[in-house]
Structure 1
Amino acid sequence: MTSKSDTPPSYEEALHHPKFDQSPGQPPYGAPLPSPPSYSPSPGMFPSQPGYWGHGGAYPQSSMYPGPGFSPAGIAIPTLSAGLHASNPGDMEDLISSQWDSTSIRHAFIRKVYFILTIQLAVTFSVISVFTFVDSVKMFVISYPVIYWTSYVVFLLVYCILICCKEPRRRFPLNLVLLGIFTVAFSYMAGTISSYYETKAVFLAMGITATVCVAVTVFCFQTKVDFTSCGGFLCIAAVLLMIIGIVTAVVLSFQYVPWLHMLYAAIGAIVYTLFLVYNTQLLIGNRELAISPEEYIYGALSLYVDIVNIFLFILQISGAATE
């Protein structure tokens, strides 16, 4: 509530009682009034608080409060448009439009990556099927291991080139050709390894790999857990896997601890499954890290390497189990 002494005088009282003109700090009658106080939640801001009329004796102008239900002139109205003023409704439309365009670009990028990945996997598993079912081809690749090592060298060289040269647009045809060479070399390697196992073990490994890949993809599209922040952990896991592989190769060459081979294959399958989760979330976006929509060849390459390595490690486990 407001005390009587705090209320402003009426117009008639101001005319007939000059004593109001003699109040300290008040300008003489007829002089222009100072501008109204700025909008800030300070004491004395509103008429119901003491001290509002005591700021220099200034009276509020009639244009400051046009009438009931109207906001004070010159005061910005708070809105819920994430910092956008009500006077600029087009900014909110531009923001929504940009977000929609970004989402559509990301979806087109994902479709392109999985299209390339489908072609790569179709080529690889076709080669594996030929090397598994055709006995003459199986005996050829087993008899000439030098072709396997040649394909391994080509695989490493092309892989390093594709990783180091991440998809400039001017190099797009070259990257696509290199990706085709990489796919053929890796397919030959996978087919050569599959030729040493029974047909039942190969089909079992294919089925388990397909199940794991579908489950991982569905999980990555549904979960809110961010695995893109675990890159350091995955690098450590990859180094440990390499060390375990070297130790396993040395131990198995002396015919010690035969079950160590299956343990190494199980660890490798788990590590590359985690890599598949990581690379899939990089592909999806909306995480701490994401792949640029222009790097669809790199995205398809990373997923392809993860899936084929999961197949090879599971093949070692299923092959040892069938034997």
Structure 2
Amino acid sequence: MTITMFKSDLPPTYEESRQQAYGQQQHSNYPYPPYGYPAQTGVYPGPGQPGIHPQSGLWQGPGYSSPAMPAFITQGMCSPNPSDTMGISSSGMWDSMSVRHAFIRKVYLILAAQLFITASIIAVFVFVEPVRLFVIQNPAIYWASFPVYLVTYLTLVCCEGPRRRHPWNLILLFIFTLALSFMTGTISSYFDTKAVFLALGITAIVCVIVTVFCFQTKVDFTSCNGLLCVLCVVLLVTGIITSIVLSFQYVPWLHMLYGAFGAIVFTLFLAYHTQLLIGNRANTISPEEYVFGALSLYVDIVQIFIFLLHITGSSSE
């Protein structure tokens, strides 16, 4: 039996197999020098060009790289994250910044809802004459709301579980907002309408200025914990003394002085709590503490308004 073998059936020679292998790479990332360019020792010049075949492990030369490595490597190919090419990891600072910004938006949305409820209740107590006369003639209602305010405030401030557990944290915050709004409305009913509007306007201006200042300044109010504690104690003692003196004889300048001092102290507290939200100061609060952040700002703003009433208001009795 005669077996006829054609030339195409024969296995390729070593030279043909090498040229076929390198010919498949002519469209890859390995550049070849043009014809006439002097070939370098140990460097393969490309298929069909004169030169010396490369020896094992001798893929060196200008513009050449190892077969196991792409010819053109960008910084992003070696980096696990493309954003690392700028030296900033998306899982690092940018993520923390986005979480902090979302936390600030959530706090101010809750604060806006609280202030809207408070302003609505104050408007009812000031403009609706039967309601105004009723709360003036029945001060026991004011004192009945005080325990609700105190219990919910201490629960939210001192107990981490109820403060972070949804939806109980929002329910407690809503009850606290209603209690403090009722107390603020009752206090406002003892003052003239013009005095209430003037105090509201000044409070709004002070809050805007303090917020913008805290976001722009390099002064760190969060490192002044000791000073704020001392001012709080002084304010408490001054309030007790003022109440005792005014119960025997009304002194207008003492009343206004106490109101001015209280407004200044709570303005500093507003700056302190605002910078706690920003997150780039000596002290900060966790993004999970959005209820505590809104509660702190809300109490500061309401207290500023109440102390300003002592300055601008006169009793309507």
TM-score (normalised: structure 1):
0.70
Partner of 1:42: none
CA distance in 2, matches of 1:210, 1:170: 29
Partner of 2:79: 89
Partner of 1:216: 210
- 2:221 touches 2:272 (CA, 8 Å); kept in 1? yes
- 1:167 touches 1:294 (CA, 8 Å); kept in 2? no
Partner of 2:129: 135
Letter of the 2:240 counterpart: I
Partner of 2:56: none
Letter of the 2:267 counterpart: T
Q: Which moved more, 1:107-116 or 1:257-266?
A: 257-266
Q: Which moved more, 1:164-173 or 1:129-138?
A: 164-173
Gaps of 5+ in 2: 1-59, 62-74
Partner of 1:77: none
CA distance in 1, matches of 2:100, 2:273: 15
Q: Which moved more, 1:249-258 or 1:180-189?
A: 249-258
* Deviations 1:246-280 (CA, angstroms, capped at 9, x unpaired): 00011111106442111111000000000000000
Partner of 1:268: 262
CA distance in 1, matches of 2:316, 2:135: 22
- The alignment partner of 1:202 has SS state of helix
* Deviations 1:287-321 (CA, angstroms, capped at 9, x unpaired): 11111000000000000000000000001111049
Shift of 1:129: 0.5
CA distance in 2, matches of 1:279, 1:250: 31
- The alignment partner of 1:259 has SS state of helix
Shift of 1:165: 1.9
1:195-210 equivalences under 5 Å are 195-210=189-204
Shift of 1:169: 8.1
- The alignment partner of 1:247 has SS state of helix
Shift of 1:86: 11
CA distance in 1, matches of 2:312, 2:250: 21
Shift of 1:322: 10
Shift of 1:170: 6.6
1:186 to 161, 175, 180: 180
- 1:282 touches 1:291 (CA, 8 Å); kept in 2? yes
- 1:166 touches 1:298 (CA, 8 Å); kept in 2? no
Q: Report the RMSD for the aligned CA atoms in angstroms.
A: 2.5
- 1:220 touches 1:277 (CA, 8 Å); kept in 2? yes
CA distance in 2, matches of 1:170, 1:320: 41
The verdict on how the C-alpha distance between 1:137 and 1:256 changes in structure 2, with shifts beyond 3 A counting, is closer
Q: Which moved more, 1:179-188 or 1:250-259?
A: 250-259
Do structure 1's residue 241 and structure 2's residue 235 form an aligned pair? Answer: yes
- 1:234 touches 1:275 (CA, 8 Å); kept in 2? yes
- 1:252 touches 1:258 (CA, 8 Å); kept in 2? no
Letter of the 1:290 counterpart: T
Do structure 1's residue 300 and structure 2's residue 294 form an aligned pair? Answer: yes
* Deviations 1:180-207 (CA, angstroms, capped at 9, x unpaired): 0000000000000000001000000000
- The alignment partner of 1:225 has SS state of coil
1:1-323 equivalences under 5 Å are 89-90=79-80, 93=84, 95-97=88-90, 98-166=92-160, 171-255=165-249, 257-320=251-314
CA distance in 1, matches of 2:219, 2:225: 14
* Deviations 1:221-248 (CA, angstroms, capped at 9, x unpaired): 1111111000110011000000000000
- 1:227 touches 1:277 (CA, 8 Å); kept in 2? yes
- The alignment partner of 2:210 has SS state of helix
Aligned residues: 242
Shift of 1:213: 0.3
The verdict on how the C-alpha distance between 1:244 and 1:101 changes in structure 2, with shifts beyond 3 A counting, is same
- 1:151 touches 1:185 (CA, 8 Å); kept in 2? yes
CA distance in 2, matches of 1:198, 1:320: 7
TM-score (normalised: structure 2):
0.72
CA distance in 1, matches of 2:138, 2:316: 26
- 1:272 touches 1:310 (CA, 8 Å); kept in 2? yes
- 1:167 touches 1:297 (CA, 8 Å); kept in 2? no
CA distance in 1, matches of 2:222, 2:292: 16
